[in-house]
Chain A
């Protein structure tokens, strides 16, 4: 079997007395969507923070594309092709939609210690940024300020920025968060399209979406992964049902 693109072993993170990541080990194979589900406060975002380098784990190791990345910060991991999106939309509101994506292209296109030439006029950057916007159906908004986009469009822009990085692995933290029914529909369609070309670790609350999208699912409860399996098996797993559907507590 090929080496997984992401391998996590013995990851731990505590906030005070609370073990938010409690000995988490799992791996993500190349291709397709691996979903992480779990109730509110299970530690999903904290896990994404540690995988992306936003937050330093207390213990454990993270290997990405055959490299130990545990000690690297967010920018380094991003340059290696580990792209993350944010549960709470994080774009540049005062930049145009195109420039939001172009900044991500710029980050992987040679040095940015260039002081003379106007960046907005660099065709290579703009073309690749435009391609990323088109991938998520946001091409028509390229000239608008990101701050005036609708919530759903901002979620699309988050995706486009990540795609503009040409990632080897996408870490998506609740890409559907806060989206209305129509927006959700559209975003699921986009993710289905991306699934063919990218490896995605998807944290998501929307169960219907997860079962429609995921090839594999890990279930996180109180900081622990209690199961990792194919969607059908996860749906049938009694421990998962008990923990996640809020029936009797499972020790």
Chain B
């Protein structure tokens, strides 16, 4: 966990050591939010061995919950957060109930299909801007206070929630529940032979990951004050999956490292050249080929 703690500490110090400018904080917020989403996806991929290619839908549903409530002039976090997390968890449970009956490539394809279904649904929501997206009237409030409009408050909220997701994920993986989940990833037959049916454990994990991603979706909506169907696009799911693999499946902190590396690299290359995608793509391929075990693996060896 050391590397993640160093990263979290650096993020906490960032605004006070010369990274307090608006655009930098915006970038860091995006990185932290995606890191949180990556943590939730890691629980599925690294924890339960379920490779989902539809995880952006969970984020998007959280973000669209903010939109729907914003349109009804409901902005208080006490309502927004539970509704967003609940909606994402419900979507996860319903689609997971079907998807988890499959495995391997079929699981990837079916989560992709459900993700696309959610994407097209949001694109058809004319009342909320359809394809063009929806601009929020304002950020989520807390007890009527518009604290989230303060950049520093928002920075530390994202950081705090990321730390919470990381700690909560660790706790979950170490618990009885997590042990069954991890064992079922390694050898489902062995787990059944001692008396567990993996299905309910996997389904609950899927729901929990959905809820965490939904919360990240709330932050994502607030960060941009704008939500569009592109949030749910399968490319986003692919990015998240890539962050998880780049970070490494050896440890949950890999999700944080992978997400930060991904966002910062993308940003840095974007500054270097407008053709940054031409470099980014091959870099991703090389990192998969040469960083066995991801960034976490590199840290362990080094």
Residues of A within 8 A of B (CB): 52, 54, 73-76, 78-79, 83-84, 86, 90-95, 99, 103-104, 106-108, 111-120, 122, 161, 164-165
In the assembled complex, which residues on chain A have CB atoms less than 8 Å from the CB atom of B190? Answer: 90-92, 161
Name 16 A/B residue pairs within 8 A (Cβ), A-sorted: A52-B193, A54-B193, A73-B197, A83-B193, A90-B189, A90-B193, A91-B190, A92-B183, A92-B190, A103-B191, A106-B179, A107-B195, A111-B176, A112-B177, A113-B177, A165-B195
B196 at the interface (CB under 8 A from A): yes
Contact in complex: B192, A103 (CB < 8 Å): no
Complex Cα distance, B194 from A89, in Å, reads 14
Complex Cα distance, B176 from A104, in Å, reads 12
Given contact pairs A106-B180, A113-B176, A120-B179, a sample of 17 additional A-B residue pairs in the complex whose CB atoms are under 8 Å apart: A52-B193, A54-B189, A73-B197, A83-B194, A90-B190, A90-B193, A92-B187, A92-B190, A93-B187, A106-B179, A112-B179, A113-B204, A116-B171, A119-B178, A161-B190, A161-B193, A161-B194
Complex Cα distance, B140 from A26, in Å, reads 69
In the assembled complex, which residues on chain B have CB atoms less than 8 Å from the CB atom of A86? Answer: 189, 193
Residues of B within 8 A of A (CB): 171-172, 174-180, 182-183, 186-187, 189-197, 200-201, 204
Contact in complex: A119, B179 (CB < 8 Å): yes
In the assembled complex, which residues on chain A have CB atoms less than 8 Å from the CB atom of B193? Answer: 52, 54, 74, 78, 83-84, 86, 90, 161
Q: How far is the CB of A168 from chain B (nearest CB, A)?
A: 13
Q: Sorted from nearest, which 5 A-B pairs have the closest CB atoms?
A: A107-B195, A78-B195, A104-B194, A79-B195, A118-B174
In the assembled complex, which residues on chain B have CB atoms less than 8 Å from the CB atom of A52? Answer: 193
A121 (CB) vs chain B CBs: closest residue: B174
A81 (CB) vs chain B CBs: closest residue: B195
Contact in complex: A114, B176 (CB < 8 Å): yes
Complex Cα distance, B194 from A14, in Å, reads 27
Complex Cα distance, B155 from A170, in Å, reads 58
Contact in complex: B196, A112 (CB < 8 Å): yes
In the assembled complex, which residues on chain B have CB atoms less than 8 Å from the CB atom of A99? Answer: 179
In the assembled complex, which residues on chain B have CB atoms less than 8 Å from the CB atom of A54? Answer: 189, 193
Complex Cα distance, B182 from A106, in Å, reads 14
Complex Cα distance, B191 from A221, in Å, reads 31
Contact in complex: A165, B194 (CB < 8 Å): yes
Contact among B172, B191, B200 for A115, CB-based, below 8 A: B172
In the assembled complex, which residues on chain A have CB atoms less than 8 Å from the CB atom of B180? Answer: 103, 106, 112
Complex Cα distance, B197 from A106, in Å, reads 13
In the assembled complex, which residues on chain B have CB atoms less than 8 Å from the CB atom of A75? Answer: 192, 195-197
Complex Cα distance, B196 from A79, in Å, reads 8
In the assembled complex, which residues on chain B have CB atoms less than 8 Å from the CB atom of A122? Answer: 176
In the assembled complex, which residues on chain B have CB atoms less than 8 Å from the CB atom of A112? Answer: 176-177, 179-180, 196, 201
Q: How far is the CB of B195 from chain A (nearest CB, A)?
A: 4
Complex Cα distance, B194 from A84, in Å, reads 8
A53 (CB) vs chain B CBs: closest residue: B192
Known: A92-B186, A92-B187. A120 touches B194 (CB 8 A): no
Q: How far is the CB of A79 from chain B (nearest CB, A)?
A: 4
Complex Cα distance, B167 from A118, in Å, reads 13
Find the residue from B179, B194, B204 having the highest chain A CB count within 10 A.
B194
Complex Cα distance, B193 from A79, in Å, reads 9
Complex Cα distance, B171 from A158, in Å, reads 28
Complex Cα distance, B196 from A144, in Å, reads 24
In the assembled complex, which residues on chain A have CB atoms less than 8 Å from the CB atom of B192? Answer: 73-75, 78
Contact in complex: A115, B175 (CB < 8 Å): yes
Find the residue from B176, B183, B193, B200 having the highest chain A CB count within 10 A.
B193
Complex Cα distance, B181 from A113, in Å, reads 11
In the assembled complex, which residues on chain A have CB atoms less than 8 Å from the CB atom of B172? Answer: 115
Find the residue from B175, B178, B179, B187 having the highest chain A CB count within 10 A.
B179
Contact in complex: A103, B177 (CB < 8 Å): no
In the assembled complex, which residues on chain A have CB atoms less than 8 Å from the CB atom of B189? Answer: 54, 86, 90
Q: How far is the CB of A179 from chain B (nearest CB, A)?
A: 20
In the assembled complex, which residues on chain B have CB atoms less than 8 Å from the CB atom of A165? Answer: 194-195
In the assembled complex, which residues on chain B have CB atoms less than 8 Å from the CB atom of A94? Answer: 182, 186
Q: How far is the CB of B40 from chain A (nearest CB, A)?
A: 15
Contact in complex: B183, A95 (CB < 8 Å): yes
Complex Cα distance, B194 from A161, in Å, reads 8
Complex Cα distance, B129 from A55, in Å, reads 53
Contact in complex: A103, B194 (CB < 8 Å): yes
Q: How far is the CB of A120 from chain B (nearest CB, A)?
A: 7
In the assembled complex, which residues on chain B have CB atoms less than 8 Å from the CB atom of A93? Answer: 186-187
In the assembled complex, which residues on chain A have CB atoms less than 8 Å from the CB atom of B204? Answer: 113
